[in-house]
Amino acid sequence: MKNIPLSYSIRNLFARKLTFFLTLTGITLVVFVFCAVLMLAYGLQKTMVDTGRADNIILYRKGSDSELSSGVDRNLVNIIATLPQVGRSASGQPIQSPEVLTVINLDMKSNSSMGNISVRGVTPGMVFTLRPDVTIADGRSFNPGSREIIIGSAIQKRFQNTNIGQTIKFGGDEWTIVGIFDGDGSAYESELWGDVDQLMQAFNRQGAFSSVTVRLAELSQLPSLQETLESDNRLLTLKAESEPEYYRRQSRYLNIFIRVMGLSITLIFSIGAVIGAMITMYAAVSNRTKEIGVLRALGFKRRNVLASFLFESIFLSLLGGSLGILLASLLQFLTFSTINFGTFSDITFGYILNREIILYGLLFSITMGLAGGFLPAVQASRQNIVSTMRGG
């Protein structure tokens, strides 16, 4: 005997509109949150990994786990510039940017409180060779030797008095905003940039940079660079790491927080939706006791009945799951800004959907459908033909 037609299951679902709608909405909401959490974690990861290139290497003091607590002496920068692994520009200049990173407070637009913002002193000119993804979106770049800064587009939207021409006061001086830059979705968009020498002076850093970022002459030279650091006594205090690796590490706690907290809570309340589906399916089975009897009398096997009810439940949850994913995809129009626990400063990232998340969302909804539908389907298939026909 053939299988019970799928349309039988689907039509049955629509027969009881209210119950169908309530269960569907429950599953939709769960899958929506599930996908939102994954999209957020992926958005953070993408922002961090997009910040930098594999052949950009950041050098900072061993033992300090971020630029914020690192110090690199000025004379080490000259030594680094001579290393053979450091790439050269067309004019023969080493492609490197000694930088200083610190944090300042600005007033947020959304409420009266203050937020922490990373301020990065960079090497004028060379920094754009090093990070070609960063482009001036509006205004111009800062002039070397001046108290001018450019502001990342993500924070420009979120903080007060950050338009071109306005000034920000820190380090005992007024700094004029002369441009807004885009960073192609990277974490740089959450930073302020100015001339490194000016910022060092303002912050009284006395010749200690936070880090030096260099371009490798060839991508494969990171191990060789690390060996050089180990073998040169003057450079022993430094640690070399690729930019993607460094930024991934800076965001690891936020990432763990979003994933672990978000997913475990979602898993817990998804049980609620699964039980909702189970109640619906049990009701479907008990309402159709006679029908099941008829189906069995017509010669459909127990497994056909089981498959039919299971399909009904999976169809319901897949429909809910698809709606949830669809709803979650709308989140891509929003951005999410919070403090990064690793750097103590503001970071903006988006909800980003990818194929994997869609797949996980669908798998998750199928799992919910199976979990909710299995026991009722087994009950349906176990019905005794004679007693079901007699009932009612």
List residues near another protein by CB under 8 A.
Answer: 18-19, 22-23, 25-26, 29-30, 32-33, 40, 61, 63-65, 68-69, 102-105, 108, 110-111, 113-116, 170-172, 203-204, 206, 257, 261, 265, 268-269, 271-273, 275-276, 278-280, 282-283, 336-339, 344, 346
Min separation Cβ 243 and another protein, Å: 20
To the nearest whole angstrom, how small is the minimum distance from the Cβ of residue 101 to another protein? 9
Comparing CB distances to another protein, the nearer of 27 and 134 is 27
- Tally of CA atoms within 13 A in the half-sphere of 316 that contains its CB: 37
Taking the complex as a whole, the smallest distance from the CB of residue 95 to another protein amounts, in Å, to 28
The string of DSSP letters for 60-82 reads EETT-SSGGG--EEHHHHHHHHH
Q: Please say which residue, 108 or 164, places its beta carbon nearer to another protein.
A: 108
Residue 129 Cβ vs another protein, minimum distance, rounded to whole Å: 28
Closer of 216 and 352 to another protein (Cβ) = 352
Instruction: Compare residues 170 and 364 and give the one whose CB is closer to another protein.
Output: 170
- Alpha carbon distance 37, 269 (integer Å): 14
Judged by CB, which is closer to another protein: 33, or 353?
33
Please state the closest distance from residue 344 (CB atom) to another protein, in A: 7
Q: Can you say whether residue 142 is alpha, beta or left, with left for phi > 0 and alpha for psi between -120 and 50 degrees?
A: beta
Comparing C-alpha atoms, which of 203, 150, 152 is closest to residue 173? 203
Cα pseudo-dihedral 289, 294, 299, 302, rounded to 10:
0
CB of 174 to another protein, least distance (A): 13
3-class SS string, 217-241: CCHHHHHHHHHHHHHCHHHCCEEEE
- CA 64 to each of CA 72, 196, 222, 247, 342: distance values in angstroms, whole numbers, following the listed order: 11, 20, 20, 14, 12
Comparing CB distances to another protein, the nearer of 60 and 188 is 60
Q: What angle do CA 206, 209, 210 make, to 5 degrees?
A: 130
Least CB distance from residue 253 to another protein, whole Å? 8
DSSP class of residue 141?
P
Which residues fall within 8 angstroms of residue 155, CB to CB, at 6 or more apart? Answer: 106, 117, 162, 189, 190, 191, 192, 346, 348
Q: How far is CA 59 from CA 247, 256, 341, in A?
A: 13, 25, 21
Q: Compare residues 297 and 375 and give the one whose CB is closer to another protein.
A: 375
Smallest gap from residue 15 Cβ to another protein (A): 12
Shortest distance, position 11 Cβ to another protein, whole Å: 19
Nearest CA among 70, 52, 48 for reference residue 61: 70
Across 61-88, b (16+ Cβ under 10 Å) vs e yields beebebbbebbbbeebbeebbebebbbe
End-to-end Cα separation, the chain, in angstroms: 28
Measured from the CB atom, the residue of 129 and 201 that comes closer to another protein is 201
- CB 269 to another protein: min, Å: 4
The residue (of 344 and 359) whose beta carbon lies closer to another protein is 344
CA distance 83 to 234: 13
For another protein, the closer of residues 216 and 292 by Cβ is 292
Do 77 and 212 meet the contact criterion of CB atoms below 8 Å apart?
A: yes
